[in-house]
């Protein structure tokens, strides 16, 4: 399956990473927070350096570069993760 990682998708991933809200190996939560599919997250994890160089995005400049469409939920703000709400869903 071919995965198409756009600049917006990479920015969504990096915003989750930069937030420190979750361990990035918790792929299902990264998907939930970023709006990305599992195969997209895994592709970014595998090819992170390549995408960082292509899109010129780093953890330091990610906020300057983001001009998100509503398609990706991290358009500038990440809501604090509520562990108690997560427990209620279990």
Residue 26 contacts residue 71 (beta carbons within 8 Å) = no
d(CA 77, CA 85): 19
Q: Please report the pLDDT score of residue 41 as a whole number.
A: 97
Question: Once rounded to an integer, what is the mean pLDDT over residues 20-25?
Answer: 91
Confidence (pLDDT) at 76: 42
What would the two tokens of residue 14 be? 């990096």
Q: What is the pTM of this model?
A: 0.68
State pLDDT tens for residues 25-84: 999 999 999 999 999 999 999 999 999 889 887 766 665 555 544 344 444 444 544 555
Both tokens assigned to 86: 């997560």
């Amino acid at each position: 399956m071919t995965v198409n990682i756009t600049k917006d998708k990479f920015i969504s991933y990096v915003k989750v990473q930069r937030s420190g809200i979750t361990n990035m190996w918790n792929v299902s939560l990264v998907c939930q927070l970023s709006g990305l599919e599992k195969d997209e997250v895994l592709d970014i994890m595998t090819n992170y350096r390549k995408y960082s160089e292509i899109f010129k995005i780093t953890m330091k400049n990610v906020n300057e570069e983001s001009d998100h469409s509503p398609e990706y939920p991290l358009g500038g703000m990440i809501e604090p993760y509520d562990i108690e709400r997560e427990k209620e869903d279990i």
